[in-house]
Amino acid sequence: MTISSCTRAAPIRTSSPDPGRPLRGGAASPGPARPPAPPAETELAAGCDMACRGCAGLLLLLGLLQLLGRAAACPCQDPRLCQPIAGTGNFEVFVFDVGKEAWKSYDWSKITTVAAFGKYDPELLCFAHSKGARVVLKGYEEYITMGIDPKKLVMGVPWYGYDYVCLNLSEDHVCSLSKVPFRGAPCSDAAGRQVPYGAIMKQVNSSISGALWDEVQNSPFYEYKDSLGHFHQVWYDDPHSISLKAAYVKNRGLRGIGMWNGNSLDYSREAVAEKQTEAMWQALTP
């Protein structure tokens, strides 16, 4: 599962798993072959987990995605369809689209925003705009593939983790979650709670598992048992996982990296805490 991103994101990793399903990793797919570029418009903010996740800090810098000033070639026959959609009213209907052509059969009289999780389809963008609906996209690779300047993209990373109570915890570290709604949509994040990195470091060494590593998500996690006998699984980012993201930012030429939030570390004068805090700051610059 992911802590971010979007991802808050989560351009390096995939979005959170479906509720009630095990917390297991899923690798982000590489960007598709370069399609026609979309219009430069302020609505192209990352749509990853937008209805499901509050995205907390990992959305703090996505405002930079609105700086798409220099317009690329419009893929629509009518150039007016490349203009941003001004407004959609007080009540919105979001549709999460995972690709292919099912969107041609949607009830467009209901839709206000399409969050496109599949391969970028310029025809979908043009058609949605013709119906007065916005289109939002996910992932850094998708933006770069479309011709968006990487220097307009900033990666948000978490300095916190998520603590999940497991309905069942298997020997191979599959934590099954209860179905908990978040803003009307079931979401794994609603089944957990945020934990700052400083608190995680105080707990991980005394956990029943110690620090574990998921090779798919490239993220650490651990497991513990609470006083009521319930098993928990905690996913987070540490200096190693953040350094991998920072290396991606540098290699892909993104503008930079930012964390949510700077208050999540242990700034006490304890020797161990000082070392852990220094390592998190160092991980931001490859």
pTM equals: 0.63
Report pLDDT digits (tens) over 134-164.
988 778 887 887 788 999 999 999 999 999 9
Residue with tokens 């905690």: 234
Q: How would DSSP label each residue in the chain?
A: --SSB--BT-SSBPPPPPTTS-----BPPPPPS--PPPP--TT--B-TTTTT---GGGGTTGGGGG---S-----SSSGGGGSPP----SS--EEEE-STTGGGGS-TTT-SEEEE-SS--HHHHHHHHHTT-EEEE--HHHHHHTT--GGG-EEEEESEEEEEE-SEE-TT--EE----EETTEE-GGGGEEEEEHHHHHHHGGGSSS-SEEETTTTEEEEEEE-TTS-EEEEE---HHHHHHHHHHHHHHT-SEEEEE-GGGS--SS-HHHHHHHHHHHHTT--
**pLDDT, averaged across the chain:** 77
Report pLDDT digits (tens) over 173-227.
999 998 887 766 666 778 899 999 999 999 999 999 999 999 999 999 999 999 9
